[in-house]
Amino acid sequence: MKPTKIADGIYDVGVIDWNIRDFHGYSTDRGTSYNAFLVIDEKVALIDTVKAPFADQLIGNISQIIDPRKIDVVVSNHTEMDHSGSLPHIMHRIGEEKPLYCSKLGAQNLVSHFSNNWNYHPVKEGEDLRLGARTLTFMETRMIHWPDSMFTYLKEDHILFSSDGFGQHYAGFDKFDDQAGADLMVQAKKYFANILLLYAPRILNLIEKVVASGIRIDMICPDHGVIWRKDPGRIIDAYLRWSRQETEKKAVVIYDTMWKSTETMANAIAEGISSTGVNVKPIHIRSSHRSDIMTDVLDAAAVVVGSPTLNNQMFPTVADVLIYMKGLKPANKIGGAFGSYGWSGEAVKLVAEELEAMKFKMVAPGPRLQYVPDDAGKAACIEYGRQIGEAVNAG
């Protein structure tokens, strides 16, 4: 990948990881990129680096523009290793006496990661760094999504270097939002649902604070995926919706099944939901990745979960999805539980308890059917789905 000029004297010198397919249990079926940015002024600044295996590519990209030894300062917005892994290589190449700007917690984390004596410059909220005609301003964004996280804003060009905010796991030569296809917002939504949803209240406060300040943003440069140059407001507006956990007139019926009985119930419940005019999507867990399921959960008004009983417990794949979902703290959801069993039947109660623990508003106890659903059982499932749909319509 060659460097991409994004403005006069500003370049994306990052790399593409075409082959990654898993990121902390999140499916990256489109690969990803690790973006790093070079700002050339009287002083030259490198903002973020890349994952360690790509260090030589990063150096090669920088070398196409300037001698890396001419870099005067390095900014580390976030110490997670996909962005800091190449720092030892970079610092050794440019000179370890060069200043490294990061948050206070970033300095602590980098020392813990790399056991070094680099020339750290921990910054304060709103602190400026003059590069010459240009100025970098540092914005603390703690817990979006690590304690050390911060954004860097280039004042004169109105460019926000947003670290892991506003990104997507999306590999491609189309480096800008106006070049990317329709899948862009799908990947952005998936990224938010699986990485940032837990921090939605903090993200909402940050965006509202930035909007209230009147700061102008003409371009957003995240550390993963495309750069927002044509319409940065599009992703900001989406983050506001997602951070408020606004829902659509939509339900998901998430289930696994052993001998198709729970699947029969799921389809009947979906039929009942659909009869009320609510959009519904049945999702078979073993045919879907947990991160794709979570993407559908993000803006669903109702989440209905079905499980057979195995060894007096819910089915293991259902437990996996619920634990994953619980950690991301979705809110403003209607919940439902259902399932089939052979002779003990604890799963429905256990699923309902997990949804209640997530503060979902539970509809009346869901169907719990033994063995193969008969016509009466299917009718009960359709009726339960209708109740779910009516609850969605009632808001």
Instruction: Please name every residue paired with 12 in a beta bridge, in sequence order, or none if there are none.
Output: 4, 37
Cis peptide bond N-terminal to 145, omega within 30: yes
370, with CB counted inside 10 A (0-12, 13-18, 19+), is middle
Nearest-angstrom CA–CA distance, 51 and 54: 6
Q: Which residues contact 260 (CB under 8 A, 6 or more apart)?
A: none
Q: Are 176 and 185 in contact (CB under 8 A)?
A: no
Reference 25, options 293, 256, 245, 225; nearest CA is 293
Active site residue 191: yes
- Residue 255 catalytic? no
The one catalytic residue in 145, 153, 157, 299 is 145
Amino acid at the residue 224:
H
Q: What is the DSSP string of 219-245?
A: EEE-SSS-BB-S-HHHHHHHHHHHHTT
140, 224, 255, 256: the active-site residue: 224
* Active-site position among 48, 148, 164, 256: 164
- Catalytic status, residue 89: no
Q: How far apart are CA 387 and CA 244, in angstroms?
A: 25
Query: Which of the following is catalytic: 24, 29, 67, 356?
Result: 24
Beta carbons within 8 Å of 274's beta carbon, 6+ residues apart:
280, 385, 389
The answer to whether residue 82 is catalytic is yes
What is residue 176's DSSP assignment? B
* Cβ neighbours around 24 below 10 Å, total: 10
User: Of 11, 34, 170, 191, which one is the catalytic site residue?
Assistant: 191
Structure tokens at 20: 């990654």
Q: Which residue in 179, 129, 175, 183 sits closest to 156, CA to CA?
A: 129
Residue written as token pair 């990661």: 113
The neighbour count for residue 343, using CB atoms within 10 Å, is: 8
Based on the residue annotation, tell me whether 78 is a catalytic residue of this protein: yes
Annotated catalytic residue 24: yes
Q: How far apart are the first and last CA of the chain?
A: 48
- Residue 394, token pair as written in the block: 């009632």
Q: Which of 12, 82, 223, 292 is catalytic?
A: 82
Catalytic residue among 17, 41, 80, 256: 80
Tell me which of 78, 83, 89, 169 is the catalytic residue.
Answer: 78
> Which residues does the annotation mark as catalytic?
24, 78, 80, 82, 145, 164, 191, 224
